[in-house]
Structure 1
Amino acid sequence: MPKAKSNSLSILALQKFKKNFWGVLSFYFIVFCAIIAIFAYVLAPDNSQNANQMHLSIHSKPPGFEVKMLTIPSQDVSDQSFLSKIFFGEKNTDTEIPIDRYTLQNNTIEISPYSEGEIIELSKEIKFERFPKGLTSQEITDTYIKTQTFILGTDKYGRDLLSRMLVGIRISFSIGFVAVLISLILGISLGAIAGYYGGKVDAMIMWLINVTWSIPTLLLVIAITLALGKGFWQVFIAVGLTMWVEVARVVRGQVLSVKQMQYVTAAKALGFTNFRIITKHILPNSLAPVIVISAANFAGAILIESGLSFLGIGAQPPMPSWGAMIKDHYSYIILGKAYLAIIPGLGIMSLVMAFMLIGNALRDALDVKA
């Protein structure tokens, strides 16, 4: 006997979503970016905290740039755990020196620091005693002198741009999740209360919504950020506190419509509490538009954070942020090194576009009339 086909609305919506090419592609792209965000320090060539290894002699180099790099190990012993290194980066105190060439002498390595022919620097001597004991001169050079390739080039401070991009994706994902979570908690709660109870409660909440909505989003975020102070978590809270308004209005409208249904009247007749009616009967039937709005808000939060970082009140240095990377390098566009600003700009654009496309796909999939 053939298995009966389910007519569940959620399964039908999932089937419709799977048929949307751009929606499915965006979903896999977002999952791919999420994996990169989690394991950024494992994938990044520079796994130091915030990918902040600076080499000023090789600043603003083009993608694919190669240089010999001498690493002088630190004498400090780090007690950092393995998981801490994976998720938060390595507390790297080693000294890295880009070099043009080197020669081995008695108990020393004579190096010529990288200068690209602009400035002829005096050679330096590094004694073997600065390296672990028991290594021959050949073992020292094989272990501590490597040719390093900067796939996306270096920024104006000589940091690896690829590593900064990989670690910076964490900021964009974090701001999206936290801001959307705050907006959903506030928006759904206030919208459901306003729509269900009506009267003075509805009027008061609508007044708060209209006042908040009348203030330009970026201006309100800047005001909240200045009140809370500059920093990582302050930006999350500020963005979340400005994105709940649209959620609240949509939820209120949905609740006003759904609470007239017969099953809600039956629930009241059975003596169920208002809290149970709202959470068990009304909200589950009102959240389809909220899911679509959340995807759009995720994209909006990434853009707002990038704008705040560009203005210098977002994530603070040395923490990598795509918006801050554009701020640091936008002047290079007219200096023949536009890629320094274009690469993080493309990162922001692709992530925002993915969330917008997945929002459109969810809207089509959850459209009951279709």
Structure 2
Amino acid sequence: MAKTGKSLTGLALQKFSRNFWGVLSLGLIVVLVLIALFAYVLAPEKSQNANWGDLAIHSKSPGFTVNMLHFSSPGTAKFKFSHYFTGNPNPEVKIPVLKYTVKGDSLTYYEYTDEPSLAISKTIPLTEFGSAANAATVEKDFIKQQKFILGTDSQGRDLLSRLIVGSRVSIAIGFVAVFISLVVGIFFGAIAGYYGGKVDAFVMWLVNIIWSIPTLLLVIAITLALGKGFWQVFVAVGLTMWVEVARVVRGQVMSIKQMQFVTAARALGYSNRRIIFNHILPNSMAPVIVISAANFASAILVESGLSFLGLGAQPPVPSWGGMIKDHYNYIILGKPYLALAPGIAMLLLVLAFMMVGNALRDALDVKSE
């Protein structure tokens, strides 16, 4: 066999780079991760959880444009750099207006409504916007046109902003749940495969018990035990995904511990912990990496199912599953995009992880060319 001068990792990366769909999917995942990290930079609505809305403009079609009258209330927090990552907890008050007129030292505006004849008019003094406010400054600084690229949801909130901010939940659940499943699964799988005997029998008994319970039912039980919330869902999903990792790691460890380099390590007097973590596990990670990519997709789908059932991320935290739950009835009411937008986003993310997993499987397969 010709010498390539490359490590196994280098060869695997080279094979992965030749997989068009794998590279494209990885690029999509990187883009979505960046969008999630800088959600409030990209989202048009900067309020925390993109939760600002007005029922007067609910369920508007994509491209909807309206004039917004901005007020600076005493409790309004000045936008800070940290708000680019957390959102503005106290955004300024905004009112959608149908039309307005400025006469003298007062402003008369008509609140937005689908029936202009029913619009309610209000008149306020220009001093509401500051002691030095005049007609020119009010029209320039306090009345701004706002466009909703994807329209508004059933609560009058910007759908695009909710979609962008909601990506944080789906991507975070993947990372946290997979991390938990790897820590727990690798630990139990390693000790079961290495020590065998009663330890192996106990671990496999525990794995079979967990495996026999439907995943969604087990997640619901753990969620109810820990309570509804953001982090409780992450822990619940992670604790249900470790069994597959444990079984794969167990099989890999049982195979690798019979090899000569492990026997040599024992002869040199190395401790069991050092043999497991320094010699066996590094040589058994290829299938675990592939499983982790698939578990990312599974975790996203499980979290979405929980959010749809009302057990996932709780309002006002946006999540794609929760957005589908809130708007699935609009599919037959003439505005299916309210449910299809988060559904398509979820589909693309899950498909990307599955394609990356398939590409990794091919790249790490030593039998393939």
Offset of 1:79 from its aligned partner?
Answer: 6.5
Identical residues among aligned pairs (%) = 64
* Structure 1 residues 84-99: aligned runs within 5 Å: 85-99=83-97
Partner AA of 1:353 in structure 2: L
Q: Which whole-Å CA distance do the structure 2 matches of 1:280 and 1:75 have between them?
A: 59
Q: Which whole-Å CA distance do the structure 2 matches of 1:107 and 1:92 have between them?
A: 28
Q: Is the 8 A contact 1:74 1:93 kept in 2?
A: no
Moved more, 137-146 or 166-175: 137-146
Q: Deviations over 1:93-129 (max 9, x none)?
A: 4211111110002322100111122661220112212
Q: Is the 8 A contact 2:45 2:161 kept in 1?
A: yes
Change (3 A) 1:99 1:81: closer
Partner AA of 2:229 in structure 1: G
Q: Deviations over 1:303-357 (max 9, x none)?
A: 0000000000100000000000000000011000000000000011000000000
Residue number in structure 2 paired with 1:356: 354
* Structure 1 residues 277-292: aligned runs within 5 Å: 277-292=275-290
* Structure 1 residues 248-287: aligned runs within 5 Å: 248-287=246-285
Q: Which whole-Å CA distance do the structure 2 matches of 1:340 and 1:81 have between them?
A: 31
Q: Which whole-Å CA distance do the structure 1 matches of 2:293 and 2:272 have between them?
A: 29
Residue number in structure 2 paired with 1:340: 338
Change (3 A) 1:146 1:35: same
| SS at structure 2 position matched to 1:286 | helix
Partner AA of 1:240 in structure 2: G
Change (3 A) 1:177 1:128: same
Q: Deviations over 1:122-181 (max 9, x none)?
A: 201122122133232211111111111100000000000000000000000110000000
Residue number in structure 1 paired with 2:219: 221
Residue number in structure 1 paired with 2:326: 328
Q: Is the 8 A contact 1:98 1:113 kept in 2?
A: yes
* Structure 1 residues 175-254: aligned runs within 5 Å: 175-254=173-252
Change (3 A) 1:158 1:69: same
Q: Which whole-Å CA distance do the structure 1 matches of 2:179 and 2:131 have between them?
A: 53
Residue number in structure 1 paired with 2:112: 114
Residue number in structure 2 paired with 1:50: 49
Residue number in structure 1 paired with 2:10: 11
RMSD (Å) for aligned C-alpha atoms: 1.2
Residue number in structure 2 paired with 1:148: 146
Q: Which whole-Å CA distance do the structure 2 matches of 1:202 and 1:351 have between them?
A: 36
Partner AA of 1:332 in structure 2: Y
Residue number in structure 2 paired with 1:30: 29
Moved more, 151-160 or 99-108: 99-108
Offset of 1:77 from its aligned partner?
Answer: 5.3
Partner AA of 1:59 in structure 2: H
Q: Deviations over 1:261-292 (max 9, x none)?
A: 00000000000000000011100110100000
| SS at structure 2 position matched to 1:124 | strand
Q: Is the 8 A contact 2:303 2:312 kept in 1?
A: yes
Partner AA of 1:43 in structure 2: L
Q: Which whole-Å CA distance do the structure 1 matches of 2:138 and 2:178 have between them?
A: 51
Give the TM-score normalised by structure 1: 0.97
Offset of 1:300 from its aligned partner?
Answer: 0.4
Q: Which whole-Å CA distance do the structure 2 matches of 1:234 and 1:306 have between them?
A: 14
Q: Which whole-Å CA distance do the structure 2 matches of 1:192 and 1:80 have between them?
A: 50
